[in-house]
Structure 1
Amino acid sequence: MLDDFMVRAALAGIGVAFAAAPLGCFVVWRRMAYFGDATAHAAILGVALSLAFSMSIFVGTMTVALLMALVVSVLSGRGYAMDTLLGVLAHSALAFGLVAVSLISGVRIDLMAYLFGDILAVSRGDLAVIWGGAALVVALIGWRWSALLTSTLNEDLAYASGINPKREQLVLTIALAITVAVAIKVVGVLLIAAMLIIPAAAARPLSRTPEGMAVAAGLIGMLSAIIGLRAAFVLDTPAGPSIVCVAAITFLATSVLRGFRHQR
């Protein structure tokens, strides 16, 4: 069954949606969209380092994503607005990564595949990495779910409950780095943040509880992957962007639904 490239592509898309759903909810709740975008942009620099030192793309991108988060934590609160700092770091990391890739001799790389994803070229080994990373992210978020919710709701309440919000921020950072590392092959650097944010935002009007929102975001992400792949096959369009387009249409639909509910 896994010899069919469309089956592998669908499983890869579902795996990324599975990882991105609960994490994307926290990104939306904490208003960390810029942070997710900056981490994703830094992944290209991780690709360049992986090629230069002949190591796994997964390891390289995850390492750079974690370093980006560490740099943001160190520099935040030192005279720069957070959105300015993230903008500078995100685009600088992307630019340095692209330049570094071009300077590596003896290596030919399809930059478009890393920028926009190449889900149709996913191999069995890639599937193992994607689903392994997704399982790790879900396990990590599930393990710290209550503490993450409390620190997201109110930091003072978290401290009163014996929870360290900075530690929970580190958990989210690690989960985000893993998600970026597994998603780069599927939707690419430029669309990773979209898969984190859009399904979670689309699920918000449909949910009454945080757990319900995470489940709904996962279902929306998975359906977006399947329908987007089918649309790409029929219309001969890029697969990664097609998946994001389906998620965006779903967000529009749920937003209209919420508008109708408010009018009643």
Structure 2
Amino acid sequence: MLDDFLMRALLAGLAVAIATGPLGCFVVWRRMAYFGDATAHAAILGVALALGFQISIFIGTMVVALIMAMVVATLAGRGWAMDTTLGVLAHSALAFGLVAVSFLPNVRVDLTAYLFGDILAVSRFDLAVIVLGSALVLGLILWRWQGLLMATLSEDLAQSAGINPGSERMVLTLALAVVVAVALKIVGALLIAALLIIPAAAARNLARSPEMMAAFAMAIGAVSVFGGLQLSLARDTPSGPSIVVIAALIFLATTLGAALVQNRSAR
């Protein structure tokens, strides 16, 4: 029988994995990896503002992550060179957040938990917020699945079918902001992008359809959470990075397996 804190950690991790699986597929398909990274880094600034104004950390991080995601999406729509822009925005937001926390009077907070996550410290309230946020993200993606797929495949094709690519982009922007807010407690700001990208990238080696890739990404994320927690408990390693390590090992295994199958087929 698992202890309460372990059960809460496992349920929170599984909820985040279910949300990041399909969302991560769109991040991979649209080549938005750095976009997710910039949004995640902005979450630290959200933590600082939440502590300063004495509001919920979840609300602070979601608002700032949403603002960052909308700014990046707007700049991308105007044709800005996104590699440089994202680099400037991501690291500037992280630096401003870290500096802002140091100026808060009578506030002593361990930023390591926000940078790398602290899933074992998830409370019942945190779990409720994580589950609700993950359900919102999954619901958004399921609701707009066909539109998102068509807009990802071709914006011109989407427009000809009566789908507004800008609206679909905003759905992804909102979903990404919510995921950043709920995943901050699990893997931290520096590793959120990894949880989005690595399971989806591993699933791409196994899937033959978009729906199958999303399902595999959720499964790989869930296995990564379970394996990461096992590693953390057995070897006293940090929980967030341990989850990402398991995901990376699965990605390596699927990549090597796909390469072997391709080599055999070529013969």
TM range (shorter): over 0.9
- Residue 136 (structure 1) aligns with: 136
SS for the counterpart of 1:233 is helix
Distance 2:138 2:192 in 1: 17
Query: Displaced runs of 4+ in structure 1, greater than 6 A?
Result: none
- Aligned residue in 2 for 1:95: 95
Q: Is the 8 A contact 1:199 1:251 kept in 2?
A: yes
The two structures have a TM-score, normalised by structure 2, of: 0.96
CA positional deviation for 1:75: 3.2
Q: Is the 8 A contact 2:229 2:239 kept in 1?
A: yes
Structure 1 position 123, deviation (Å) = 0.5
Question: Who is 1:72 aligned against?
Answer: 72
| Preserved CA contact (<8 Å) 2:9 2:122 | yes
Q: Contact 2:40–2:65 (CA<8 Å) still a contact in 1?
A: yes
Q: Does 1:226 align with 2:226?
A: yes
Deviations 1:14-72 (A, max 9, x none): 11101100100000000000000000000000001111111111111111011112222
TM-score by length of 1: 0.97
**Alignment correspondent of 2:59:** 59
CA distance in 2, matches of 1:114, 1:164: 36
Counterpart for residue 169 of structure 2: 169
Mapping 1:12-51, distance limit 5 Å: 12-51=12-51
Name 2:82's counterpart in structure 1.
82
Cα shift at 1:245: 0.1
- The amino acid that maps onto 2:137 is V
Residues 207/78 of structure 1: CA separation in 2 closer, same or farther (3 Å cut) = closer
The reply to whether residue 199 of structure 1 matches residue 199 of structure 2 is: yes
- Gaps in structure 1 of 5+ consecutive residues: none
Where in structure 2 are there 5+ consecutive unaligned residues? none
CA contact (8 A) 1:44 1:97 kept: yes
Query: Deviation of residue 205 (structure 1)?
Result: 1.2
| Offset, 1:215 | 0.6
| Alpha carbons 1:76, 1:85 under 8 Å: kept | no
Question: CA–CA distance in 2 between the matches of 1:144 and 1:78?
Answer: 24
**Are 1:9 and 2:9 matched, yes or no?**
yes
The question of whether the paired residues in 1 share the 8 Å contact of 2:73 and 2:173 is answered with no
Percent sequence identity is: 67
Structure 2 residue identity aligned to 1:159: Q
Q: Distance in 1 between matches of 2:175 and 2:231?
A: 30
Give distance in 2, aligned partners of 1:79 and 1:72.
11
Kindly report the root-mean-square deviation, in angstroms, between the aligned alpha carbons of the 2 structures.
Answer: 1.3
Pair 1:158 & 2:158 matched: yes
Per-residue CA distance 1:192-230 (angstroms, 9 max, x = gap): 000000000000111111111101000000010001100
